[in-house]
Structure 1
Amino acid sequence: MIYRSKAPLRIGLAGGGTDVSPYCDQFGGAILNATLSLHAHATIESTGDNRITLVSEDQGKEQSFDWATALPADGELDLLKGVYNRIQKDHPFTMNGLKLTTFVDAPAGSGLGTSSTLVVAIIGAFAEMLKLPFGDYDMAHYAYEIERNDLRLAGGRQDQYAATFGGFNFMEFYGNDKVIVNPLRIRQDYLSELENNLVLYFTATTRESARIITEQQRNVKENNSKSIEAMHQLKEQARMMKEALLIGKLGEIGEILDYGFRQKKNMAANISNSHIENIYEAAMKAGATGGKISGAGGGGFMIFYCPRNTRYKVIETLNTFGGKINPYQFTQHGLTTWTIQS
């Protein structure tokens, strides 16, 4: 049997960073995000060789081990190992060998939640194989625990929930790992216009989000008023974006994005840089009314809101910076799993 899964990547439209502890534990966080037609994929196959083989096709990496209930986390394919180890700890199983293969439709460190989405996809494949009764909240929290507690990777909470639930969601984050996901019922014509106007641009750079997030966390712990106030404003930005999408104030979306872009730079150093600033200013001059860096910042994907027919001039301008426009569609489905005969 072959067990497969896929989970969608996401763009954060507003509130980014307010899902990170300790800010959300102390003040509560809010984020509005949407999933895209870019996915993390996972496949589990029985091999019969009494070995565990891990393959990351997009990274060109492969490791193989004698069958064991725990694999060494040594910096190579640790997301795959982390999920396997936790599943074996909580839901022990034996096989005569397995091969776990993964692929992600966007580069690691590109700001679309690739790592967390991949963890969700891998858990989904194991849940499909072992018939584990995970609900959506269970799945997302399980992925969060593996990343943040087992593997000690710095980050927030939104990615795991976006990948699991899918669609447009207004998410609230509180202390004691409390998360509330509010699916948004947005009119199809509003969604179509947003999809038409929102340009997704890969800057051809990636970044290590953990360093930026660690500084953000330190700023909250040290009561850095500038950083904390920026997070307060980003939380309010998420509410502004929710209202604009629900009642059709599409003309305000660019300004809301621009407001968030300027606030986010106050959260931590290295969120922006001269290359990002040059791209942003050029896009604005070409007709965009706002934009943002996707994810923690520092590189990766950016999005720009281009009303009317300005997207064509903006795309022409962005192409001069050596990056790439990435086609996409919004998706309404989260994690999907299935089984096929081998």
Structure 2
Amino acid sequence: MIITRSPLRISLGGGGTDLPSYYHQHEGFLISAAIDKYVYITLHDTFQKEIIIKYSQTEHVQNVKEIQHPIIREALKLLEVKSENFELASLADIPAGTGLGSSSSFTCALLKALHTYNKTFVSPAELAEEACHIEMDLLKEPIGKQDQYISSHGGINCFTFCKDNRVKAEKLNISKETLYNLEDHLLLFFTGYSRSASNVLKEQDDKSKSNDTSMIDNLHFVKELGYRSKKAFESGNLEEFANIMNIHWESKKKRSNAMSNERINKWYDLAMQNGALGGKLIGAGGGGFLMFYAEDNKKLRTTMAREGLQEVRFRFDFDGSKVVTTS
């Protein structure tokens, strides 16, 4: 039995500049943090010659080519797993489509399990690149590289996405006191809306590829906000980070009409009037989680609970993708 896990993530600055349609021309930069909410993969041999795959559906197939789940199929092919008598299952702390990078966390946890099954070592950078290759090159998803890299590395990292496809990962230089204060004052609330990140990101991707001036300028500005957030963290000025988040959210909404809706806007405004200093919708947009930096945690929690929004409490994860157990 092999059990692996990969963390979900929250974006702390520069989100959206990790798509190839942008960084191939302009270089991307963002800050991302892994959190202690995970996608798990279990893998073990069976006696019967059959491949059993369990996720939201259950598949019973005789060989890899018959597998319907695209990520699982391509991962097994990429790592050349020869066995045809095993069972593979996944589960997650948070549902898919909620803006926390669950799809890429799934891919990283899956690849980590398969490397363990094959008895091969894989570094965090290699794991991230394999996940990117499956999702972006083989399956042609219009997504970026943030989710794969933060899930494989863990921690709070600054990522630079180079024009030649290289990714530079650097740990955020943040003091322990600032880190603990950030954990204590960042709050996540589920909006109740789930959506496909690919559908939301496609508009951004298409506009970037066509050199749409408004989209490129928007992403330039968001990247600059990412650098400003880095300075705020390094200096311990979390109120400035909260203010930057608010500016980021206003800018992010301009990318697409699908980025927000009336109810999300109402909740955001209500939060800003009741204890929040800044916030944004996590992920590609359109649903998922609202994240706020709160000055008054209790007041904000009471207000959001009254609106029916469920809070998910979290801490940061510093392990990244890992093997939980083998037996």
2: distance between equivalents of 1:197 and 1:300?
19
| Partner residue in 1 for 2:76 | 84
2:319 is aligned with 1:333: yes
2:6 is aligned with 1:11: no
Name structure 1 gaps, 5 residues minimum. Answer: none
Alignment TM-score, normalising by the size of structure 1: 0.92
Q: Deviations over 1:6-54 (max 9, x none)?
A: 1110000111111012111111111101010101111111001111101
1: distance between equivalents of 2:275 and 2:116?
47
* Greater Cα offset, 225-234 or 38-47: 225-234
Query: Which letter does structure 2 place at the counterpart of 1:265?
Result: K
Name structure 2 gaps, 5 residues minimum. Answer: none
| Partner residue in 2 for 1:65 | 61
1: distance between equivalents of 2:95 and 2:325?
27
Instruction: Answer whether contact 2:128 2:148 (CA < 8 A) is retained.
Output: yes
| Partner residue in 1 for 2:52 | 53
Question: Runs of 4+ in structure 1 displaced over 6 angstroms?
Answer: none
Query: Which letter does structure 1 place at the counterpart of 2:83?
Result: T
Instruction: Answer whether contact 1:7 1:164 (CA < 8 A) is retained.
Output: yes
232, 254, 271: which one aligns with 1:283: 271
Over the matched positions of the two proteins, sequence identity in percent amounts to 30
| Partner residue in 2 for 1:167 | 155
Distance apart, 1:282 and its partner CA: 0.5
Instruction: Answer whether contact 1:71 1:85 (CA < 8 A) is retained.
Output: no
Instruction: Answer whether contact 2:107 2:131 (CA < 8 A) is retained.
Output: yes
| Partner residue in 2 for 1:110 | 98
Query: Which letter does structure 1 place at the counterpart of 2:308?
Result: G
245, 257, 262: which one aligns with 1:257: 245
1:159-198 mapped onto 2 (5 Å cutoff)? 159-198=147-186
Instruction: Answer whether contact 1:128 1:339 (CA < 8 A) is retained.
Output: no
2:292 is aligned with 1:304: yes
Q: Secondary structure at the match of 1:244?
A: helix
2: distance between equivalents of 1:300 and 1:251?
24
1: distance between equivalents of 2:212 and 2:254?
10
Alignment TM-score, normalising by the size of structure 2: 0.96
Query: Which letter does structure 2 place at the counterpart of 1:330?
Result: F
Q: Deviations over 1:156-180 (max 9, x none)?
A: 1000000000000000112232111
Query: Which letter does structure 1 place at the counterpart of 2:173?
Result: R
How many residue pairs are counted as aligned between the two chains?
A: 327
| Partner residue in 2 for 1:240 | 228
| Partner residue in 2 for 1:217 | 205
Instruction: Answer whether contact 1:70 1:84 (CA < 8 A) is retained.
Output: no
2:88 is aligned with 1:100: yes
Distance apart, 1:255 and its partner CA: 0.1
2: distance between equivalents of 1:312 and 1:79?
41
